[in-house]
Structure 1
Amino acid sequence: MNRRHFSKLLTGTALTAAASTTLAAKSKKPNLLIIHTDEHNFRTLGCYRELLSEDQAYVWGEGVKVDTPHIDRIAHEGAICTRYYATSPVCTPSRASFVTGLYPAATGSPRNDMPLHDGLETFASVLQKQGYATSYVGKWHLDGKAKPGFEPPRKFGFSDNRYMMNRGHWKGLGHDENGKPIVIGLVPEKETSRFNVSKATPEDFTTDFLTSRALEIMERDKGRPFVLMLSIPDPHTPNLVRPPYNTMFDDLHFEEPRTMQVPDEEMPKWALSNKNVDYLEQNKMQDYFGMVKCIDDNIGRLFKFLEDNRLDENTIVIFTSDHGDLMGEHKRHNKGMPFETSAKIPFVIRWPKGIPAGKQINTAYTTADFTPTILGMIGAPQISEQHGLNDAKSFLSKKKVIRSDRITYMSMGNWVAAVSDRYKYVLSPQDVPWLYDIERDPDELINFAGHPEYTAIEKRLSTELDRMLEQYQDPILKGKPLIRTSAAL
């Protein structure tokens, strides 16, 4: 090709790219970018620490923190939700609720590794019909036991799911000779990988790899309204991260959280098991912080793309997770408990064209509320017979602080809990009712159930919980009877 023709090609390509970018910038339909992590403790994010007292912000010791400027930016330039919970604080059921707006029992996925029912509508399938390019990158965990299970045949509205991986927390990803995604060093019969994380690079470490694929997809789709859900498997175990993040927090010493020192007899019976711990593994805590920092840096890459392409003003950017991680609190790691750092998830959202900056929403939500609310914000049709609340008006209103005493609920196999903006009421077949006052007792150590000053509050929570259990046909009703009598009575 001669220089003249080559120059024309470059000029034409540049004009096409510029036209596409201008078209996207002027589009009335907002883009939607969801960054979704796995097992993420909200105390690791600066925007949540800012809202907490010193002793709550630094439960592992004074100054023990990881800085997250890019996630914080979403909250500062948009809204932060302070009472957002998983419908069930484990991966599959929470994710099922997130994409469908239904409680887990209605999705076919009330427990891990159970596939979504065929034919269910999702927020992606609705937006696909509205003309959106829809893509999913990363962990899915809604297609049964397939592992890794790349590109499941059932797409649920995500037209591009080449990089959708059903489950697994491998640290290295790449491409095969045909350009298909693979787990590096995978040993299928052992479901393990021989990947050496200490030699991982920004090209093959999973968080970086998936972010790079997300950037490629946004580059392709930037000329039309797009939906992209980037589901990063970290900071879920195993607590391993690539250099330099693997040594970035070696100077930090993590103290035991106060709630790790509570005698067993003062804890709820549903919180006691062989998973209880009485010490912290320093290297694992340090690497958890490293994983969070790596995630935040990659979110910076996403923001740069949006800004460079003038898409940042009309793209809804959301950062959230499927559930939390106790990280030593209440003598536990990981999830599955109704305690705040297990069941509560970070949820921050930025949309300059629609959401006022610096907004704080204290309403109790669960992941079942995401789909109806995001469809409401975009102005898309709602899915019929959803369980979740469309609360788009709260996000789009000009009020900087939203507070509601709405009650919603969450559930696991051995407990159910009603939650509001301040209270949490837990019922179980294993123990008496537990009523927590999160404002008065943020460590969740005191059971206020049966105390005279809480009688009206307990009755309201109990009544509403019973109503929701019946309405959503929660499976716990088919098991052993829930204990209703408080110890204080």
Structure 2
Amino acid sequence: MNISKRILGLLLTSLLVFGCNSQKKTQEKGAEVDKKKPNLIVIHTDEHNFRTLSCYQELLPEEQAFVWGKGNNSKTPFIDKIAHEGAITTSYYCSSPVCTPSRASLVTGLYPQATGAPKNGLHLREDIPTFATILRDNGYATSYVGKWHLAGHDKYSFGIKYNGGFEDNRFMMRGGHAPYFHIKDDQIKGINEKQAAKLPKEEVIHLTDYFTDKTLEILDRDKDKPFALMLSIPDPHTPDYAKPPYNTMYKDLKLKSPITMAPEHVKNKPSWGKDKGKNEAIGKASFKNQKNALKQYFGMVSHIDDSVGRILEFLDKNGLTDNTIIIFTADHGDMFFEHNRRNKGVPYEASSRIPFVIRYPDKIPSGKVIHTAYTNVDFAPTILSLMGVETNAKFHGLDTSEDFTNNQKELDSDRITYFAKTGGWWVSAVNNRYKLVLDKEESPYLFDLEKDPFELNNFYNDPAYKTIATKMQAELLKQMKEFEEPGLTQSKPYVLK
């Protein structure tokens, strides 16, 4: 009897040990699978002119790379590193050249009219998936740091109730562009440089530094599991102030006004390019008075680039580089005196075209250049596919992941996509060479971005362009109908010919 009990005990012990070992091996195998999931970091800036990234300057003719005079531009070695070791796109556009609608499209893969946030200050719908909700549901640690602008107009406030799938949103800020935070007694207040100078140094931090620091803290916490993090830096948006030493980095540049500021060009530009409000400059006199603002802008870009460098260094030191997708992009551009304009909101390249560079050593060949036209509506379906994540979510954008992963060093196609002004007053179709703008007050404009990169001439009625004009217009109207573009249902129709 005792022998039988001993044998039974030994058998039970063996089974228990075997079960534990099997469970341990299963857990280890699961951990290995998790580690193979690619990580994701999206670095996103605000009101960022693509020309200020030197990786774009390298691809542009001199007159395009240096619209403010020969050699006058910022340098971005760390963002360039992403582009050189991965891919750079030359025809990437925002869904609408305004903060909130563009951001809503990036996270949802939908045009602004379907997101609940087609205008600044509106709230993202809570009943639609985002790339973050999908990654969260697939086992990712999801985090958001920086400007959100999808939950109202409040400035420098946190504690946002709906996080869009970014589970750690402690540092998700509703909005605001003050250069510094004053942090005291756990209270955060946005302040300008003059206010910052009067306060104890230990209570003051620049927003770019603050959000980069928080990003690195989160990455260190989540480095041993699959993570997806978005860092949204409020710069280089106005008020055009760079903190020291970046504020004097470009002080010796001899800036010149863009050629599109010439009176004959300003006089003849279309009505959708004019603005009698604050966005319209006042000729060369205004440019002369605001040269320092442009130098500060370059300084902000360099500050951002150094912050990107800190993140790249973290990935290298922690062995995360090969299995981490890192992206640098923006919500929209900044005219900065091209066509006598400031800021954004128009279909010109400096306003609507955005930087988009991506590195993923495991899948994307280095040194890749893609000329195919995209909008950030394509981002969500593309990034999920690139990460091998399946979803039943419906997107307006396309899965373009194969463009990034194939072996072609330079990729080009004439795919036509579109973007629009918030509210549907003008719409624009683009491909890798042409841009068509339809407006409710202006005759159609067709730009040939290869022959006329400064967008000064309308080729719409040129017989040599009849075929491409007809094709672009037909495709634009087709997509507007498919995606229920609001401009189609307004009482005033677009001017067509």
**Residue pairs, 1:139-288, within 5 angstroms:** 139-173=147-181, 175-178=183-186, 182-185=188-191, 194-196=195-197, 204-263=205-264, 264-274=266-276, 275-277=279-281, 278-279=283-284, 280=287, 281-288=290-297
Query: Offset at 1:312?
Result: 0.8
Q: Does 1:357 align with 2:366?
A: yes
Secondary structure (helix, strand or coil) at the match of 1:128 reads helix
Partner of 1:370: 379
Query: Offset at 1:378?
Result: 0.4
Secondary structure (helix, strand or coil) at the match of 2:247 reads coil
Retained in 2: the 8 A contact 1:198–1:243? no
TM-score normalised according to structure 1 size: 0.90
Tell me the distance in 1 between the aligned counterparts of 2:48 and 2:371: 19
Secondary structure (helix, strand or coil) at the match of 1:35 reads strand
Partner of 1:431: 442
Partner of 1:331: 340
Partner of 2:469: 458
Tell me the distance in 2 between the aligned counterparts of 1:198 and 1:325: 32
Retained in 1: the 8 A contact 2:45–2:233? yes
Query: Offset at 1:401?
Result: 1.2
Query: Offset at 1:455?
Result: 0.6
Retained in 1: the 8 A contact 2:85–2:367? yes
Query: Offset at 1:402?
Result: 1.2
Identity across the alignment (%): 49
- Say which of 316, 321, 326 aligns to 2:325: 316
Deviation string for 1:42-78 (max 9, x for gaps)? 1111100111111111111111121100000000000
Q: Does 1:391 align with 2:393?
A: no
Retained in 1: the 8 A contact 2:413–2:432? yes
TM-score normalised according to structure 2 size: 0.88
Tell me the distance in 2 between the aligned counterparts of 1:358 and 1:415: 36
Partner of 2:486: 475
Partner of 2:15: none
Q: Does 1:56 align with 2:64?
A: yes
Secondary structure (helix, strand or coil) at the match of 1:155 reads coil
Secondary structure (helix, strand or coil) at the match of 1:228 reads strand
Secondary structure (helix, strand or coil) at the match of 2:246 reads coil
Distance change in 2, residues 1:445/1:184 (3 Å): closer
Tell me the distance in 1 between the aligned counterparts of 2:219 and 2:267: 53
Retained in 2: the 8 A contact 1:201–1:243? no
Uncovered stretches (5+) of structure 1, i.e. residues with no partner: 1-19, 187-191
Q: Does 1:348 align with 2:357?
A: yes
Partner of 2:76: 68
Deviation string for 1:168-197 (max 9, x for gaps)? 11211254434x6x22459xxxxx994449
Tell me the distance in 2 between the aligned counterparts of 1:270 and 1:83: 21
Tell me the distance in 2 between the aligned counterparts of 1:101 and 1:69: 30
Tell me the distance in 2 between the aligned counterparts of 1:198 and 1:342: 36
Distance change in 2, residues 1:87/1:297 (3 Å): same
Deviation string for 1:361-404 (max 9, x for gaps)? 11111010000000010011235221000011111111111111
Partner of 1:9: none
Partner of 1:382: 391
Partner of 1:126: 134
Partner of 2:10: none
Tell me the distance in 1 between the aligned counterparts of 2:67 and 2:177: 27
Distance change in 2, residues 1:176/1:381 (3 Å): farther
Query: Offset at 1:149?
Result: 3.0
Deviates more, 1:244-253 or 1:93-102: 244-253
Partner of 1:83: 91
The residue type equivalent to 1:134 in the other structure is T
Distance change in 2, residues 1:308/1:108 (3 Å): same
Secondary structure (helix, strand or coil) at the match of 2:327 reads strand
- Say which of 86, 99, 119 aligns to 1:111: 119
The residue type equivalent to 2:221 in the other structure is R
Larger Rg: 2
- Say which of 27, 31, 35 aligns to 2:39: 31
Query: Offset at 1:348?
Result: 0.1
Query: Offset at 1:475?
Result: 1.3
Retained in 2: the 8 A contact 1:430–1:483? yes
The residue type equivalent to 2:305 in the other structure is D
Tell me the distance in 2 between the aligned counterparts of 1:174 and 1:311: 33
Deviation string for 1:280-300 (max 9, x for gaps)? 211101100000000001111
Query: Offset at 1:273?
Result: 1.7
Retained in 1: the 8 A contact 2:95–2:419? yes
Query: Cα RMSD over matched residues?
Result: 2.1
Retained in 1: the 8 A contact 2:101–2:112? yes
Secondary structure (helix, strand or coil) at the match of 1:80 reads strand
Greater fraction helix: 2
Distance change in 2, residues 1:467/1:294 (3 Å): same
Query: Offset at 1:484?
Result: 1.0
Q: Which runs of 4+ in 1 moved over 4 A?
A: 23-26, 196-203
